[in-house]
A and B are shown apart, each in its own frame.
Chain A
Amino acid sequence: MFKRLRVKAEPAKPGLDLGEISISQLIGDVSLPVTIKALNSLPENPKLRLYRALIPIQVLAEFDINPRTWKNPDKLPQVRLDAEHGSDKVKITAWYGADPQNEFFYLELADNQYSGIDLNFLIANNPLSEKYRTDYDDEGKETLFGTVRRNLVEEQRAMQAGLAPGQIREGLRCSNIVFNHIETFLTMMAHHAFFLEPLTYVSAWIFEKRGFAYSKGHQLMDTIHKEFQPGGELHKALDGSTPFRQPDQWQTVRGRAWAIHDGILQVIDRKWDDLKMIKQIGRQAGVNTFPDAKY
C-alpha cells in the first residue's frame, strides 16, 4: 500500500568508540560524522588546530589574546584546551588577567549517546563588569547556577543590575558568533545538528533567536507565555510575595525568567526541567514563543 513511500534511514553513524584516527582518515570520507572522542585521539597539534576554530577571534581580540597562540601580549597563556585522549568531551576556557580562575569564556561540547553532539556549557561573561556571587551561597557552597542552592541577596542585586538568572556578570553578547563557529566546526565534522538544554527561560529565548527548535518543551514555553498573560495563573502569581515575583515581571523575558527561577511554575504544576533544544546546521527554525518580547 505504501509502495511510493520511500523510507531512507540516515546512513549508520559510527559508534562512539572510533579508537585512534589518523588525519587521512579524518579527511578521507567527508560524509562520516566524527565524534569528539575520535578527535581527542588525534595528536596534540592537529587537535589544537581543529579546536582552535571553536573560539571566535572577535572574542579573543576583545581581550588582546592572539587567536593563533592563545597568548596575551606578554606571551602568557590565556586559553586552555581540555580534550584528553579517551574523553568524549572538549572544553575550552579563556580567562582574563593572570588568574585562570577568572574565566570569561567557557565552552564544552560532548558526544551524546546517539552519536550526536551536545553543547553542555556556553558561558561568555564580561570579565570587566561587576561580579555577583550568585554562584555561591552565604555559607560558601556552590549554587550550581542557583539550581541546588540560592544566594538570595546576591540574586536580588544581580536582577536589579539587569542580569538573568545563572549569570554572575554581564554577558559578552557574542552567542551569535559563537554559534556560527560551532556550526562551522560541526559542519567540518559532518554533523547535522547539535543539542542543548536551556538552563533558564532567558537562555531558551535567546536560543530561539539563534535558530533552535525544541525536541522537548516547546509546549511548555507556549504554556508559560499564555499563563503570563493578564488573567493567567502565572500572571496572578506575580503577587509581590518575593522580590522575584513583582507584578510587572510578566512583560519581559528577564522578569519571567527570575520568577521561574524563583519556582513560580509550581502554580501551574510544572517545573523548569527536561527542555531540550536542537539546532539543525544551516537551518533557522524560527521559533518565537514570546512574540514582541522585551528583554
Chain B
Amino acid sequence: MPQRFQITRAAELESLSVFRQFISDCCASHNVPHDTVFDLKLAVDEACTNIIEHGYKGMDPGSIILSFRITPDRILVQITDFGHIFEPSEAPKPDVEAALEDRELGGLGLYLIYQTMDNIDYQSSEDGNTLTFTKYIK
C-alpha cells in the first residue's frame, strides 16, 4: 500500500526550506536515491516559487498543500494552491539556446520540472489548482 505524506504551509518564500526538509524526510524513510531526491526538491522548489510569485500575486497569500505518495517504483507528488488559475499554455517559453547574457531572468520553472519529472498533469478550478507529477525510481 502506498504511503502518503502531506504538509501545508503558507505561500511564502520561507516555506521553501520547510518543503525541502519535508521531501528529505519522506525520501529518507524509503531509501530513495539521492539524485531522485535532488530532482524532486528542484521540481517542488520551482513549482512552489511559481505559486508564491505568481499564483497568489496581489492577494494575501493562502496555502500550499504538498503531498507525496510513495510506492516501491514511483513517487507521486501533488501540489495544490488556491491562487489565480495558471494557464501553462500562456507561460512564456524560455529560450534555453540563447547566450546567458541574453536570457530573461527566471521563467525556467516549468522547463525544469519537465526536464526532471516524468508524467506531469495540471488541473485548475475555483476549488484549487493541482499540479501532479510522477518520478519513477530507477
What is the interface of chain A, defined by CB distance below 8 A to chain B?
1-2, 4-10, 114-116, 192-193, 213-222, 274-276, 278, 280, 285-287, 289
* B125 partner residues in chain A, CB cutoff 8 A: 9-10, 192
User: B110 touches which one: A5, A218, A287 (CB < 8 A)?
Assistant: A5
Shortest beta-carbon distance from A145 to chain B in Å:
21
User: A5 touches which one: B80, B82, B122, B124 (CB < 8 A)?
Assistant: B122
User: A2 touches which one: B114, B119, B123 (CB < 8 A)?
Assistant: B114
A213–B82 touching, CB < 8 Å? yes
Does B11 have its Cβ within 8 Å of any Cβ on chain A?
yes
A114 with B10: in contact, given A213-B63, A276-B62 (CB under 8 Å)? no
* A278 partner residues in chain B, CB cutoff 8 A: 62, 82, 127-128
A116–B8 touching, CB < 8 Å? no
Does B17 have its Cβ within 8 Å of any Cβ on chain A?
no
Does B89 have its Cβ within 8 Å of any Cβ on chain A?
yes
Shortest beta-carbon distance from A3 to chain B in Å:
9
Does B120 have its Cβ within 8 Å of any Cβ on chain A?
yes
CA distance A213 to B90 in the complex (A): 27
* A214 partner residues in chain B, CB cutoff 8 A: 10, 62-63, 82
* A276 partner residues in chain B, CB cutoff 8 A: 62
* A114 partner residues in chain B, CB cutoff 8 A: 126
* B121 partner residues in chain A, CB cutoff 8 A: 5-8
What is the interface of chain B, defined by CB distance below 8 A to chain A?
6-12, 59-63, 65, 80, 82-83, 88-89, 93, 110-111, 114, 119-128
CA distance A285 to B65 in the complex (A): 7
B114–A4 touching, CB < 8 Å? yes
CA distance A218 to B83 in the complex (A): 12
A-B contact pairs, 12 of them (CB 8 A): A5-B88, A5-B120, A8-B122, A8-B123, A192-B127, A216-B59, A218-B9, A218-B11, A222-B12, A276-B62, A278-B62, A287-B63
CA distance A98 to B89 in the complex (A): 61
| B59, B82, B110, B119, most chain A CB atoms within 10 A | B82
CA distance A193 to B65 in the complex (A): 15
Extra contacts besides A213-B65, A215-B83, A216-B59 (13): CB < 8 Å: A2-B110, A5-B122, A6-B120, A6-B121, A6-B122, A7-B89, A9-B123, A213-B80, A214-B62, A219-B12, A280-B127, A286-B65, A287-B8
A280–B122 touching, CB < 8 Å? no
User: A213 touches which one: B8, B110, B114, B123 (CB < 8 A)?
Assistant: B8
CA distance A215 to B7 in the complex (A): 16
B10–A218 touching, CB < 8 Å? yes
CA distance A149 to B28 in the complex (A): 54
User: A220 touches which one: B60, B120, B123 (CB < 8 A)?
Assistant: B60
* B127 partner residues in chain A, CB cutoff 8 A: 10, 116, 192-193, 278, 280
